[in-house]
Every structure is written in C-alpha cells, then in structure tokens.
Amino acid sequence: MAGSTVGFIGLGYMGEGMAANLMAKGNTLLVMANRRRDAVERLVADGAREVASAAEMASLADAIFLCVTGSPEVEAIIEGKDGILSGAKPGLIVIDCSTAEPDSTLRLAEVLAAKGASLVDAPLGGTPAGAKAGTLQALVGASDADFARAQPLIACWAATIVHVGPVGAGHKMKLINNFLSLGYAALYSEALALGAKVGIDAETFHSVIGQGRMRCGFYDTFMTYVIKRDENAHQFTIANAYKDLRYLGGMADSAKLVNPLGSAVKNQFAAMSAAGQAEKYVPMLSDFVAEANGVRPKQ
C-alpha cells in the first residue's frame, strides 16, 4: 500500500511520531484533532491535511490508524456519531495501535466487516523517541490477507513487526507483554524501597542490577528516572498502566485463569491512581512505594 492515503487519529506522545513517519515515507496523511491540537498543527504545517471527523477521514482514506487510550475511545471513534462506520467504504483497513480489550476488538472487526472494511490490531511497543525514529515494535493480529496490506504501512514506523495471529491476537499478546513490563515496575519499586530501608541506595542497586543478567530496556528507562530524575525518560502514565492491567484481569477471567500476580501488580497501580497521581509516569511508582514505606525518594 505504498503511496496510500492514510488517516491517523490519536496524535499523542506516540502517535505524532508515527504519523510523521507515515508521511515521510511517501503517504498522503489525513489528521484530525482528538486531544492534542498542537500536534495537528505541526503535521499540517509539514503537509498533512486536516479533516473534520472520522467519517470524513474514512470516506477519503485507504487506511486509518488509531492510537488512543483504550477500548471505549476506539469504540466511540468507530461507532459513534460521525464515526468511521458512517463513512467507511469497502476495502478500508482500520489499524488499531491502542492497547485494547480483545473481546471489543473481535466485535468491532465483525462490525467493520459488515461494511466491507477490515480491522487489524497492531498494538505497539517502545517509547516516543522510538516513534519519532521509526523503530517501534508492532504486535499484529490480522488475517494473512489483511496483514499483507497493513504491513508496509506499519513498517513506516516499526522496525520489528510480529504477525501474532488472527485479529485480536495482537491485543492479547500486548496485554501479556504489559503484564511483564508493569510487573517489572512494581518489582523494581518494591526492591528499591526495601534496599533503602536496609541501607542500599539506588545508585548501589543500579551498580549491581544494571551490570547483570536482569538488565533490559525497560529497566534502563525506569532507572533513568530513578537515578537521574528525568521525568520524561518513560512517558507512560499510571492511568494507562492501571487500565492495561484491568484489561489483563478481564482476559484472565474470560480464560478462567487464576491470576494472583496480575492482581497484585494491578493493585499497586490502583493505589497510586486512587491517591491522585494517575497522570504521573510509570517510573514514579518507585517514589509512591518508597513514600508509603517512609522512605524519602531521591530529589
């Protein structure tokens, strides 16, 4: 689908960089304001065209990317007033890069299919810097035919693309992925607080873990905040983390799986969210756990 007309809804921390890469790779870009007007204006200044609604975008585009918060937002964009369904034409492909509930994804795929359109779930992994550089990871749920159509467009912003399985499989794998990463965040936070309690400071902790087998990319961005206090090292909010872990719990319930570790991790993020800190970023969980245990975080 090289040289396609591509719509993009959800120009947040990740979406703006992804959309810019789609345009830089020779696609005509359609955008609309969702939450960030400034991103729309920057992309329009670079050559994108602004549309007034998702319905208008669907009537013009070969493909539409969604990169919004979760299933309620995806459902509203597709099925709501002036939504994608209102303007969808046969052959349209909707590529949902949000982290969403698999049951909702499967239902929306059926709704779009009735209009002759297709839904692909392609939740992403990485950081805003990776979105800008075009080096994200995509976990794709799609039929073989839809994957073949979507893959060249996804490749505009992703360096690693994994066709996980049929539609819905991408979102299932993403929830499992986020369970692992957010589980690391909860584990690191508790370990750092315990270390502080027994006289092991964060620098000493990092001098050991940061040079051992347990180091990983997630650890690096998490600890960049802990050690350097760089608040933008890992721009993923507590609210989004808590949402993803609720979705994971729902998937586990549907699968009739006992999920005690998932519940424990979810409750850490639930507590921070309930304390009015939902818009802080995931590495800041280390401060929340420290303070709950009478430890003063590094300033």
Phi-psi region of 92 (alpha: psi -120 to 50; beta: other; left: phi over 0): beta
The answer to whether 256 is a known catalytic residue is no
Closest-CA residue to 20 (of 1, 45, 37, 57): 45
Catalytic residue among 25, 132, 172, 174: 174
Residue 33 phi, psi dihedral angles, 5° rounding:
-70, 130
Token output for 236 = 């993923």
Helix pair angle (71-79, 102-113), 10° resolution: 10
Compute the CA torsion angle 138, 140, 144, 147 (nearest 10 deg).
-50
Residue 90 phi, psi dihedral angles, 5° rounding:
-55, 135
In one letter, which amino acid is 55? A
How far is it, in rounded angstroms, from Cα 122 to Cα 161?
A: 9
Token output for 50 = 């602004």
Token output for 90 = 């046969």
Q: What are the catalytic residues? A: 174
